[in-house]
Structure 1
Amino acid sequence: MSKNKIPTSHEDNHLRRADLNLLTVFDAVMQLQNITRAARMLGMSQPAVSNAVSRLKNMFSDELFVRSGRGIEPTARAHQLYGPIRQALQLVTNELPGLGFDPQTSRRQFSITISSPLDLLLAPKILNVLSQASSGVTLNIESLVNENIENQLRYQELEFAIDYRCIDRSDFYNQLLFEDELVIISSNNHPRIDQQESQRYFFTEKHAVVRLSGHSSFSFPYYNTAETQEKVCYQGASLISVMEIVSRTEMVALVPKWLALLSSERLNLRIDSLSWLDNKLNSYLSWHESASKDKGNLWMKELLTQCVSMP
């Protein structure tokens, strides 16, 4: 063997033969799950994208995409590949001259989810700050956090989630945004509460709650016994409806303090503390590790954090 010849491994040769340009096609098709829209985004013809998808199937020895209605649906293997491939593409993009993230020129769209009622508190601030920080970056906000949120973040269908719960998994990051507390509310016209302490009437009055099932139900820990569940006689879809019901009935409810203060005058509500209960309520910003190296995501994370720190 020549002294100047560097030995190569089988993996090196295999990678050299692979067309890594196909990975950008994979990324676009995974995002849009539609060949025509992916072709439009990439500036390619539809047949060229279809051909690239066929080559990707051979590269990974998997179908990757199957027909579903008017679009296509990724296979389990495609979902498995998406996070690492997207992270690798982001790392390369970040280092290429002229391709870094610039909020002044970018036309990128971000997607986040904010659980209710935090959307009422945070969404206006976020959108107003974004409009001042960039004229081209857009943000899609959903006010629902569901059981599928981890996969949506993992496969970057969403970049961030804001919720009262953090995601306790090793491949996720959670940043504490702010601390709040739960209080108990009732109508100022309630005929029995009067000067009672909350610890007494919490166990005697009927309760209205946000549905006790589901990812975003922060009330569940307080209604996890037969005794407290028997007191629940209304389960609403949102805290806004719960508070409206409480204001016109003899029920009580647990709500975040900021929301109670915001609505107490309009709804004629009484607010009592829950100092005898573990009533700490934290808000978290969560994201998957696959999004942690992208400069655009880092910029958006700073913007979201800035909004929470605003008065």
Structure 2
Amino acid sequence: MAEYDSEITMVKESADIHLRSVDLNLLTVFDAVMQMQNITRAANSLGMSQPAVSNAVARLKVMFNDELFVRRGRGIQPTMRARQLFGPVRQALQLVRNELLGAKFEPISSERAFSLSLCSPLDLRLGGTIINHVKQVAPQLGLKIKSYINNDIEHQLRYQNVEFVIGYSCFESMEFRSEALFDDELVLVVAQQHPRITNQITLEQTLMEQHAVVSLESFGSFSKFYYIDDAMQRTVTQQCTDLYSVLTIVSLTEMVAIAPAWLVRQQAEALKIKAVPLCQCENKATCYLSWHESSEWDKGHQWMKTILTEAGHSE
């Protein structure tokens, strides 16, 4: 037993000696290069010269026994090993930053800028509420909201180009976190003067109608919520780039579409459309707030998450 304890002690001492030989300042360089994926921009963000950052990257390659970054066009691309390291390194740095003097996040005086992606049409439902609340409690804070989300959203969220996503999808990878905010009720939307549809319709009748849909199939978008399987031989006559265009087409024709009930109520008078309950099919779409695990210990991130969660739960 004593021999075993002696071996454990030797292993721990060896690990301590190895860690003391590491320049932990290199980790801040690694974090910046991973975010920027460009040596020059990383150097500017760190207040360092480009040669100094390049030298630090060379030392990082030796430290982790991996190339870490390979050239791609005018920038660089992280290797698989670098991607694996990014989350743990970022979390460790944030834990240290949180304990430093003056690290407390003060919304009333902060000039920090946050970026948020809001899937359409959730931008219409939540955008104004979020902007007004942030302005009230953090007047100097910057907030950038994008309504369009492309299929590169995982990359953007992982490297902090976007800090939060609100949409109708959850990320499958374990490195992302999601919280359900609310369920949207889905309805069939038709023109108020539709010649065949009044206040109710069967699934069979719905399938016989011509449908207008959102053609954009990006992450979290409404386009996935048709709730009528294509195997049921639904006829799609019009494909639009956004849901508001779909509602406009429906208002001018005999076509039908599926949309959130709140959006139909909001546009009913202006577009002369109405909602009809969906029969024999799913009529709920859950809205999620998502973020990357590497940001969870950041105090500013925690504050903004609370703001966004409150905005979603108030709906």
TM-score, normalised via structure 2 length: 0.87
- Confirm or deny: 8 A CA contact 1:185 1:254 kept in the other structure: yes
- Confirm or deny: 8 A CA contact 2:202 2:279 kept in the other structure: no
Q: Which amino acid aligns with 2:69?
A: F
Q: Which residue of 2 aligns with 1:285?
A: 289
In structure 2, relative to structure 1, the CA distance for the partners of 1:288 and 1:96 (3 Å cut) is same
Q: Which residue of 2 aligns with 1:180?
A: 184
Shift of 1:99: 1.9
TM-score, normalised via structure 1 length: 0.88
Shift of 1:95: 1.3
Q: Which residue of 2 aligns with 1:159?
A: 163
Q: Which residue of 2 aligns with 1:30?
A: 34
C-alpha separation between the residues in 1 aligned to 2:223 and 2:209? Answer: 20
In structure 2, relative to structure 1, the CA distance for the partners of 1:198 and 1:125 (3 Å cut) is farther
C-alpha separation between the residues in 1 aligned to 2:30 and 2:69? Answer: 10
1:1-311 pair list within 5 angstroms: 7=10, 8-194=12-198, 197=201, 199=203, 201-211=205-215, 213-215=217-219, 216-220=221-225, 222-228=227-233, 230-274=234-278, 276-310=280-314
Shift of 1:255: 0.2
Instruction: Provide the secondary structure at the position in 2 that maps to 1:98.
Output: coil
In structure 2, relative to structure 1, the CA distance for the partners of 1:137 and 1:195 (3 Å cut) is closer
C-alpha separation between the residues in 2 aligned to 1:128 and 1:53? Answer: 42
Deviates more, 1:120-129 or 1:271-280: 271-280
C-alpha separation between the residues in 1 aligned to 2:120 and 2:269? Answer: 21
In structure 2, relative to structure 1, the CA distance for the partners of 1:153 and 1:274 (3 Å cut) is same
- Confirm or deny: 8 A CA contact 2:216 2:241 kept in the other structure: no
The Cα offsets for residues 44-71 of structure 1, whole Å up to 9 and x where unpaired, read as 2222222212211221222222333333
The Cα offsets for residues 238-260 of structure 1, whole Å up to 9 and x where unpaired, read as 10111111111110000001111
Deviates more, 1:249-258 or 1:47-56: 47-56
C-alpha separation between the residues in 2 aligned to 1:124 and 1:185? Answer: 25
- Confirm or deny: 8 A CA contact 2:216 2:242 kept in the other structure: no
Instruction: Provide the secondary structure at the position in 1 that maps to 2:310.
Output: helix
In structure 2, relative to structure 1, the CA distance for the partners of 1:211 and 1:43 (3 Å cut) is same
In structure 2, relative to structure 1, the CA distance for the partners of 1:83 and 1:156 (3 Å cut) is farther
Q: Using the aligned pairs only, state the percent identity.
A: 52
Q: Which amino acid aligns with 1:297?
A: H
Instruction: Provide the secondary structure at the position in 1 that maps to 2:92.
Output: helix
C-alpha separation between the residues in 1 aligned to 2:276 and 2:65? Answer: 62
Instruction: Provide the secondary structure at the position in 2 that maps to 1:222.
Output: coil
Q: Which amino acid aligns with 2:239?
A: Q
Deviates more, 1:283-292 or 1:136-145: 136-145
RMSD between aligned residues: 2.3
- Confirm or deny: 8 A CA contact 1:182 1:281 kept in the other structure: yes
Q: Which amino acid aligns with 1:192?
A: R
C-alpha separation between the residues in 2 aligned to 1:49 and 1:165? Answer: 38
In structure 2, relative to structure 1, the CA distance for the partners of 1:44 and 1:213 (3 Å cut) is closer
The Cα offsets for residues 158-202 of structure 1, whole Å up to 9 and x where unpaired, read as 222111122344443321212220011111232222465354531
Gaps of 5+ in 1: 1-5
C-alpha separation between the residues in 1 aligned to 2:50 and 2:109? Answer: 28
Shift of 1:91: 0.9
Gaps of 5+ in 2: 1-8
Q: Which amino acid aligns with 1:157?
A: N
Q: Which amino acid aligns with 2:53?
A: V
Instruction: Provide the secondary structure at the position in 1 that maps to 2:207.
Output: coil
- Confirm or deny: 8 A CA contact 1:36 1:46 kept in the other structure: yes
Q: Which amino acid aligns with 2:230?
A: T
C-alpha separation between the residues in 1 aligned to 2:283 and 2:267? Answer: 19
C-alpha separation between the residues in 2 aligned to 1:151 and 1:76? Answer: 13
C-alpha separation between the residues in 1 aligned to 2:276 and 2:116? Answer: 33
The Cα offsets for residues 86-110 of structure 1, whole Å up to 9 and x where unpaired, read as 1111111111121232223333222
Instruction: Provide the secondary structure at the position in 1 that maps to 2:182.
Output: strand
Shift of 1:213: 4.3
Q: Which amino acid aligns with 1:96?
A: L
Q: Which residue of 2 aligns with 1:3?
A: none
In structure 2, relative to structure 1, the CA distance for the partners of 1:95 and 1:195 (3 Å cut) is closer
C-alpha separation between the residues in 2 aligned to 1:307 and 1:222? Answer: 27
